[in-house]
Structure 1
């Protein structure tokens, strides 16, 4: 068996590095999309903190094996583009789902998030989640509501005790 070409080795290393550094990688089939449609999806993903790239499946498969995501190999068939997401995974999943509604040729195939392999259904569920900013705002609201509600409850208890302590004339 002959040695692989340096370009291929570099590409496998690039994909593996992106898989390791990304919070998630979402696989899509892009068969039938025009160049302008793909450019639009790339632009939207970039705004959501992602990068959408097309690699040879055989090279992506080798990188998946190197990073411990061997289960992705079964999805690396046909024309596949990989969305590498750093940051808000839900926002990127939303972009891809909305793009697949506008362009039915774009098919969500699955992906990987951390050590978990995602099915296409899992990616759909991620797309239904609120954005990271919304979740943080909801959490902050909960944190401020607890002390406020405790203070209101204590004030009501104090008022009740004071009204009971006043003798009736």
Structure 2
């Protein structure tokens, strides 16, 4: 029979997975309690950092329906559970890892799929939400209602829509699309959303 404390820990971690907009899996070695406390402080109220045994994390991920993380769960594991803006938390973790080599980003989970280390770092390299919104709202100024709705969207979604709009411009012979500021797997609905806005802007 499973020990009550382990059952409680699995339930807690599973609930964190369910409540998170994204998660970042890290490996930490040689980091003091003070350093981990600093990381938690840097993440602020919109993200939490949980150190846990890999066996418990695997069970919790299964319970929460989170798949694709098993390969990341080796060595001492700490997971950042993000409730707020994934881009901001990813930036914080990447900066902390740069300043503290004992922390290594191994991957993550967002939008229903596992992320590689490169994808987490790409997320961290996105422009700030405010800059992305300004760019996209400017491009969609002829469609104010749609642009206004984007101000509640996460930066990652705004970035994908910005990239879809830029890709459409490039396909029509406009300026080359910037590829460094948005994930490569921009969803098709973003392109469809950008298309009517572009048509309105041209009119």
Fold match by TM threshold 0.5: yes
Residue matched to 2:93: 96
CA distance in 1, matches of 2:127, 2:83: 16
2:105 to 104, 108, 116: 108
Does the aligned pair in 2 maintain the 1:88–1:131 contact within 8 Å? no
Does 2:134 align with 1:140? no
Partners of 1:100 and 1:145 in 2: CA distance? 42
- Tell me the TM-score normalized by structure 1: 0.79
How far the C-alpha of 1:19 sits from its partner, in A, is 0.6
Higher CA-based Rg: 1
Q: Which residue of 2 is the match for residue 51 of structure 1?
A: 48
Q: Work out the CA distance in 1 between the residues paired with 2:75 and 2:143.
A: 52
**Structure 1 residue 145: deviation in Å?**
6.5
1:1-169 equivalence runs, <5 A: 3-46=1-44, 49-144=46-141
Please list every run of at least 4 consecutive aligned residues from structure 1 whose deviation after the TM superposition is greater than 3 angstroms: none
Indicate if the aligned counterparts of 2:67 and 2:114 stay in contact, CA closer than 8 A: no
Structure 2 alignment gaps of length 5 or more: 145-201
Quick one: distance in 1 between partners of 2:135 and 2:84? 18
Deviation at 1:5, TM superposition (A): 1.6
What is the root-mean-square deviation in Å for CA atoms of aligned residues? 2.0
CA distance in 1, matches of 2:50, 2:130: 26
1:167 is matched with which residue?
A: none
* 1:91-127 deviations in Å (ceiling 9; x for gaps): 1111111111111111001011021100111111101
CA distance in 1 between counterparts of 2:6 and 2:130 reads 39
Alpha-carbon deviation of 1:67? 2.3
Higher relative contact order (CA 8 A, sep 6+): 1
Q: Tell me the secondary structure at the aligned position of residue 68 of structure 2.
A: helix
